[in-house]
Structure formats: C-alpha cells, structure tokens
Amino acid sequence: MAISITVITTASRSRRFLQTDPANVEQMLESLKRSGQIFSGKPLIIGSAGQTEIFSPQAIACVEIEASRDLSVLVPSSLNLTLTALTPEELAQPFAGGIEGEHVKARIEFFFKGGHVLRTSAEGTRKAALAERLMNLTSLFERPAISYRLPQGGIGLMNPHAMTRFVITPGVADLPRDAWLADLV
C-alpha cells in the first residue's frame, strides 16, 4: 500500500510526499494514533535520501494523508460530527442541511492564516443538552487537532491554532447568550 502526504502551510503552500515502502507506511500510520499531538511542540519532519523537510507545527494549517484503506480508525474523533472535505463538484451542488430529529447536516468552512480554506460537509447526532452543543461549537479553537475524511480516501488533520474562523451553514439555532446577532451584508 502507498500513501500520499500533503502538508498545507499557513502560507497557503502545499508540499506533497509519497511513501510506497510497506514498513515505512505502517510506521507512519502507527504514528497517527498520536495525531492529537501533531501540532503541539515538536516539528513535523518528512525525509528521504533526496532531502529532508522540517515544518514548524505553528505554520501547518492541515496535513492530509491519502490511502486506499480506512484511516479514520487511527485518529481520535473529538467531535460528534463526521467532517468530510468537499470536492469542487459537491460545492457546486445546492445544499440542504439542518436538523431532522437528532440528525444534523451542515456545511462548515474553515479559514486559516495565510488564506487556506477547507470546505467540509458535517453530519452527526445532535447533542441533547444545550450546554454540550454550545461547548462543541465554542471549543473548536481549543482542540489539539480536528480530523476529517478525504473524498478520495484517507484522512486530514486540521490545526485549530492556525484557524482564523469557521462558518456553519445553515446558521446555528442555539447560540450563546453573549453572541452578537446580525446578518451578513
């Protein structure tokens, strides 16, 4: 099995790497179990005989790992939502989301320092308690990493500390009391 790794920096630059050696692939996939720590402290080092690149964790917006097998089981899920990156074709489609019973469907656009934008679909179960729903909404910037699925297979990891904002469509009905209510013009 081969994997492709794309590192997207806060300068909105992408660097792509490929690994085909099964032993090296397994070692890299094993390290995904500690993916919650990928943006805290130690630099990300990707090397080969040809060159070695060292990335500052603060300068990484996202790391995407494409693979033919399901990698989502290797990364901790910190949300009650499944996030999936949208293709350009999916973005062009009309979107109808909202809450049906306990099921939630929305689009979330994540904006990063340097201009990178990650557009996702989000589906999951609505938390029963208002306090839990508000906590999920407001604590995204405080998480160590946020995982998402790639439409072509594989997973991505977002660096919440490199995010500048995110937009949820349709709007959230249960806002905190101190939220400012206003329409976008």
Answering whether pTM is above 0.85, one says yes
- Distance between CA 2 and CA 129 in Å, rounded? 43
Provide the 10 A C-beta neighbour count for residue 127: 16
pLDDT band at 177 (very low <50, low <70, confident <90, very high): confident
**How many separate domains does the chain show?**
1
Instruction: Examine residue 182 and state whether it is found in any structural domain, yes or no.
Output: no
Structural domain span for residue 125? 3-169
Residue in 139, 160, 159, 157 with CA at minimum distance from that of residue 149? 157
Instruction: Examine residue 120 and state whether it is found in any structural domain, yes or no.
Output: yes
Q: Which residues contact 70 (CB under 8 A, 6 or more apart)?
A: none
- Tens of pLDDT, residue by residue over 3-46, are 999 999 999 999 999 999 999 999 988 888 877 788 988 899 99
Provide the 10 A C-beta neighbour count for residue 65: 23
Instruction: Examine residue 177 and state whether it is found in any structural domain, yes or no.
Output: no
Instruction: Examine residue 174 and state whether it is found in any structural domain, yes or no.
Output: no
Instruction: Examine residue 124 and state whether it is found in any structural domain, yes or no.
Output: yes
Q: What is the DSSP string of 25-69?
A: HHHHHHHGGGGGGTTSSSPEEEE-SS-EEEE-GGGEEEEEEE-SS
